[in-house]
């Protein structure tokens, strides 16, 4: 019964989390996304065929991004719903704060295929968020970089880039500009 084992592991993790006292200095990091809580209007550009030899074709989408806090802001979820001439994108971005490592993990859930992407990990330095991870594209291993830049209280930019050479060069393939609704 694999589902039972998963449930037991999840309940064990919840129990362990509840019984571990907060470490000094870890609460500050768990508030890194407080500025983003709420509803945003989002304009998204997506590179149609990243890391390919084809000419860059950017697809445009528009819609909303809603950010909700969870677990005393140690986690949050972003619900993205955008549409454009090329179709729709609906997804969730689950963000979890790891107090021991003082970092965040960001994991995207694509509603179309119901799969979780491999997480990217990192945090905020000087007001900008930088997150890195490993993934695959077309069966090839790639590096993923996700950047968050606040541009005042009512605007932020989110960029994703892929690297096929271990991070020596990056190709941006996702740019979202969010404005407070």
Q: Which residue ranges make up each domain of the chain?
A: 25-180
DSSP string, 98-135: ETTTTEEEEEEEETTTTEEPPPEEEEEETTEEEEEEEE
What pTM was estimated for this model as a whole? 0.83
Q: Where are the alpha helices (DSSP H) in the chain?
A: 2-19, 26-29
Q: Would you state the pLDDT for residue 3?
A: 38
The pair of three-digit structure tokens given for residue 150, joined into one six-digit string: 């606040």
- pLDDT, residue 115, reads 87
CA dist 170 → 88, 107, 130, 159 (Å): 26, 20, 14, 11
Strands 120-125 vs 155-163: parallel, antiparallel or unpaired: unpaired
Backbone angles phi, psi at 144, to 5 degrees: -125, 135
The tens place of each residue's pLDDT in the chain, 181 residues long, gives 443 333 333 333 333 333 344 444 457 788 999 999 999 999 999 999 999 989 899 999 999 999 999 998 999 999 999 999 999 999 999 999 999 999 999 999 988 888 899 999 999 998 899 999 999 999 999 999 999 999 999 999 999 999 999 999 999 999 999 999 8
pLDDT recorded at residue 127? 82
At 176, give phi and psi (nearest 5°). -120, 130
Cα–chain center distance at 124: 13
> 3-state class of 160 per DSSP?
strand
- Give the HSE-up count for residue 11: Cα atoms under 13 Å, Cβ half-sphere: 6
Pairing of strands 87-98, 115-116: unpaired
| CB 104, CB 31: distance < 8 Å | no
CATH topology of domain 25-180: Lipocalin (2.40.128)
* C-alpha span between 89 and 81 (Å, rounded): 6
Strand 155-163 relative to strand 128-137: parallel, antiparallel, unpaired? unpaired
């Amino acid at each position: 019964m694999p589902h039972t084992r998963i449930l037991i592991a999840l309940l064990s993790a919840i129990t362990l989390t509840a019984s571990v006292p907060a470490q000094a200095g870890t609460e500050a990091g768990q508030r890194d996304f407080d500025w983003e809580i709420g509803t945003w209007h989002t304009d998204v550009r997506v590179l149609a065929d990243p890391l390919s030899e084809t000419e860059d074709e950017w697809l445009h989408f528009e819609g909303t991004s809603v950010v909700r806090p969870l677990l005393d802001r140690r986690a949050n979820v972003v619900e993205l719903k955008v549409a454009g001439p090329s179709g729709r994108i609906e997804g969730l971005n689950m963000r979890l704060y790891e107090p021991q490592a003082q970092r965040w993990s960001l994991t995207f859930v694509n509603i179309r295929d119901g799969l979780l992407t491999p997480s990217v990990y990192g945090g905020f330095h000087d007001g900008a968020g930088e997150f890195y991870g490993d993934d695959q594209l077309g069966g090839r291993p790639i590096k993923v970089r996700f950047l968050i830049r606040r541009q005042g209280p009512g605007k932020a930019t989110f960029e994703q880039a892929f690297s096929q050479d271990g991070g020596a060069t990056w190709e941006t393939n996702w740019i979202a500009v969010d404005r407070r609704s």
